[in-house]
Chains A and B, each alone.
Chain A
């Protein structure tokens, strides 16, 4: 008979070994799925590895995919650490993109500014708008006890409709109406040249947004591991009641954590505009589902900011491989299926970290009720 016992102490190596073990199990399950639907898993994995990491220029493309999910992953991790389930990073990223493109266009209209000014202004505008959007579910949760999971998710759809409206259904400030073609096929205004963020590196192109993301991860680690604020957040996460008795201000923490989370997701929107698209592109943003992938990233990283950086690059590689290989012999939903299975395995593996197995022989339990064949021997 198998019994589970809660571990009193968690050995450090388990928190490394279990995620990698889960990953291995996940890839084994995915291989079964691939074989069942008539694909050769070895061939598919080799192609994905090449397209995602080892091939020519693959790493640069992977960082492009990794940058937005680094931000949304950090956003999810920041909130989930306090058991505050902000799944609105998707919409907060859209709002960040709206804010960043607005300030960049404004600065461009005034012929003002060098690139550093653009980067700073875009980050501030995006962070503020993202934080404000996240504060809607935050305020409702803090003052009305309204379930933040559903409200933050509903706001994703509203934000999606908002950016669609700005480009497709109105003559808004963001929409390009300068040429006849642009009037017939709605698109966003191109950013002024100063708003194009620089990148670094020669063989592998590292976008500025990715570096900003790494900086945010480090800041988040300091905030959560080295400050009073972080300590109070973890107390509230573990036991809201204990936190209240200790006089911690739970409402303020909810608002602050939601704002931090939304602000980080907003930065992801600024990076999309400045690093990659150089225009507000509602269709591309909504198709990519960065916010939902960020949840996968955060959960796999067990909400640790540094682990988020690693996982974001891994899943970025997966997504990049998915884009590159999309075609007849590479089914379109495979990347989402893989993400789901990896996450399921990681969740299952969590059990091994928190509990340990005790296998007891039946004979010892039955010994109380009478002699068993084994005992008699």
Chain B
């Protein structure tokens, strides 16, 4: 048995697989939060994106590549549509971002629109016809240690790396990125500089929703390509993604690290079961949730005084007349 088949490498490869939806959703939430809007509806947007993506693969006929691109696009659009509700309520109507986000999760989630959509369109009746398979990039699949972890993944994984790079460059190296940061830190000053605060917030909340939708599609198109009613498909990943943004100090490159850490924790139970390691499964399943709490505690106690990275205007509606 070569080292590439060992439990450690399997878990690491799975960590990347399971971390990818977290990465998409966390990057999306990060963009929304950097513009000053907290969106707690990530879980709901992911579930709806998963449902729509799955539906597209069932109904559209064509080559694998075409169908999957359309499915991801559909998931992104549906996530953005859900985010639009949140954007309208919180930016235009100045509603509480926390309550509106919770409402979005209930509305779009496993007992709401996703289930409605799934039961109306009979998603459970048909098997998945297209799904993302691993692509052997550069022929490095069998490379020692790194092959299975980095070069034997699906197109979604490679896309998430490109996306992370793009977000890093966007926020740090472009005029628009600078404006977003201004809008999130000091909307009144940004407004005085002539930046359209409302427009920036709308765009970033919508893009955030689109990425959450793509994150949800990672589950229904790649990790567990089935449709199940209820919220078991995403199972709290949206909330972990929100915690990841805090864990990453609102920096995209750190989201990558955090996503794979939590991806590993999510993948561990399945990998251990496959290797006949018997540990109480509930204990393993609860690991990502418990670790989220632990990580949040560590991050908030150690650094809270300096509030590293949190946009100053996060959660506060901007009203020009009341600044």
Residues of A within 8 A of B (CB): 4-6, 37, 85, 87, 140, 144-147, 149-151, 153-155, 157-158, 161-162, 164-165, 169-170, 287, 289, 292-293, 295-296, 299, 331-337, 339-341, 343-344, 347-348, 350-351, 354-355
Give min CB distance, A105 to chain B, whole Å.
21
Q: Does B53 contact A (CB under 8 A)?
A: no
> Which residues from 84 to 99 on chain B have a C-beta closer than 8 Å to any C-beta of chain A?
85, 89, 93-96, 98-99
Q: Does B270 contact A (CB under 8 A)?
A: no
Q: Are B300 and A154 in contact (CB under 8 A)?
A: no
User: Which of A150, A161, A293, A340 has the most CB atoms of chain B within a 10 A radius of its CB?
Assistant: A340
Q: Are B106 and A146 in contact (CB under 8 A)?
A: no
Give min CB distance, A83 to chain B, whole Å.
9
Q: Which 8 A-B pairs have the closest CB atoms?
A: A340-B107, A333-B115, A336-B112, A333-B116, A336-B111, A165-B282, A347-B95, A343-B103
Given A296-B103, A333-B111, answer yes or no on A162-B282 (Cβ-Cβ < 8 Å): yes
A337 and B111 CA atoms in complex are apart in Å by: 8
Considering only CB atoms, which chain A residue lies closest to B102 in the complex? Answer: A295
Cβ-defined partner of A344 (8 Å) among B103, B235, B242, B319: B103
Cβ-defined partner of B292 (8 Å) among A85, A150, A336: A150
Q: Does B114 contact A (CB under 8 A)?
A: yes
A66 and B62 CA atoms in complex are apart in Å by: 49
Q: Are A150 and B106 in contact (CB under 8 A)?
A: no
Q: Are A348 and B289 in contact (CB under 8 A)?
A: no
Q: Which residues of B contact A335 (CB under 8 A)?
A: 111
Considering only CB atoms, which chain B residue lies closest to A76 in the complex? Answer: B102
Q: Which residues of A contact B63 (CB under 8 A)?
A: none
> Which residues from 105 to 163 on chain B have a C-beta closer than 8 Å to any C-beta of chain A?
105-120
Cβ-defined partner of B293 (8 Å) among A151, A343, A351: A151
A-B contact pairs, 28 of them (CB 8 A): A4-B321, A140-B293, A146-B296, A146-B301, A147-B246, A149-B98, A153-B236, A153-B239, A154-B236, A158-B289, A161-B285, A162-B286, A295-B102, A295-B106, A331-B119, A333-B111, A333-B114, A333-B119, A337-B116, A340-B108, A340-B112, A341-B107, A344-B89, A344-B100, A347-B93, A347-B96, A351-B93, A354-B94
Cβ-defined partner of B300 (8 Å) among A147, A162, A341: A147
A235 and B110 CA atoms in complex are apart in Å by: 37
A154 and B242 CA atoms in complex are apart in Å by: 11
Considering only CB atoms, which chain B residue lies closest to A137 in the complex? Answer: B293
Given A158-B286, A296-B106, A343-B106, answer yes or no on A333-B113 (Cβ-Cβ < 8 Å): yes
Considering only CB atoms, which chain B residue lies closest to A166 in the complex? Answer: B282
Q: Are B239 and A333 in contact (CB under 8 A)?
A: no
Q: Which residues of B contact A151 (CB under 8 A)?
A: 293, 296-297
Cβ-defined partner of B289 (8 Å) among A144, A154, A296, A337: A154
Considering only CB atoms, which chain B residue lies closest to A343 in the complex? Answer: B103
> Which residues from 268 to 323 on chain B have a C-beta closer than 8 Å to any C-beta of chain A?
280-283, 285-286, 289-290, 292-293, 296-297, 300-301, 304, 319, 321-322
Task: List 17 additional contacts besides A162-B286, A337-B107, A343-B106; criterion CB under 8 Å.
Answer: A85-B98, A145-B301, A147-B243, A147-B300, A150-B243, A153-B236, A154-B293, A155-B289, A157-B289, A161-B286, A164-B282, A292-B106, A331-B116, A333-B112, A333-B115, A347-B89, A347-B100
Given A154-B292, A299-B103, A336-B106, answer yes or no on A146-B112 (Cβ-Cβ < 8 Å): no
Count B interface residues, CB 8 Å.
56
Give min CB distance, A326 to chain B, whole Å.
10
Q: Which residues of A contact B30 (CB under 8 A)?
A: none
A8 and B293 CA atoms in complex are apart in Å by: 41
Q: Are B286 and A339 in contact (CB under 8 A)?
A: no
Given A150-B243, A151-B293, A169-B282, answer yes or no on A336-B120 (Cβ-Cβ < 8 Å): no
Q: Does B32 contact A (CB under 8 A)?
A: no
A161 and B290 CA atoms in complex are apart in Å by: 12
Q: Are B40 and A340 in contact (CB under 8 A)?
A: no
A145 and B293 CA atoms in complex are apart in Å by: 12
Q: Which residues of B contact A296 (CB under 8 A)?
A: 103, 106
Considering only CB atoms, which chain A residue lies closest to B121 in the complex? Answer: A37
Give min CB distance, B158 to chain A, whole Å.
30
User: Which of B102, B105, B230, B240 has the most CB atoms of chain A within a 10 A radius of its CB?
Assistant: B102
A164 and B232 CA atoms in complex are apart in Å by: 14
User: Which of B108, B116, B120 has the most CB atoms of chain A within a 10 A radius of its CB?
Assistant: B116
A164 and B281 CA atoms in complex are apart in Å by: 10
User: Which of B106, B111, B285 has the most CB atoms of chain A within a 10 A radius of its CB?
Assistant: B111
Q: Are A145 and B300 in contact (CB under 8 A)?
A: yes
Q: Are A144 and B103 in contact (CB under 8 A)?
A: no
Give min CB distance, B235 to chain A, whole Å.
8
Q: Are B112 and A337 in contact (CB under 8 A)?
A: yes
Q: Which residues of A contact B10 (CB under 8 A)?
A: none
Considering only CB atoms, which chain B residue lies closest to A332 in the complex? Answer: B119
A354 and B95 CA atoms in complex are apart in Å by: 10
Q: Which residues of B contact A334 (CB under 8 A)?
A: 116
A169 and B286 CA atoms in complex are apart in Å by: 14
Considering only CB atoms, which chain A residue lies closest to B231 in the complex? Answer: A289
Q: Are B296 and A150 in contact (CB under 8 A)?
A: yes
Q: Does B27 contact A (CB under 8 A)?
A: no
A99 and B117 CA atoms in complex are apart in Å by: 38
> Which residues from 186 to 222 on chain B have a C-beta closer than 8 Å to any C-beta of chain A?
none
> Which residues from 1 to 49 on chain B have a C-beta closer than 8 Å to any C-beta of chain A?
40
Q: Which residues of B contact A146 (CB under 8 A)?
A: 293, 296-297, 300-301
Considering only CB atoms, which chain A residue lies closest to B292 in the complex? Answer: A154
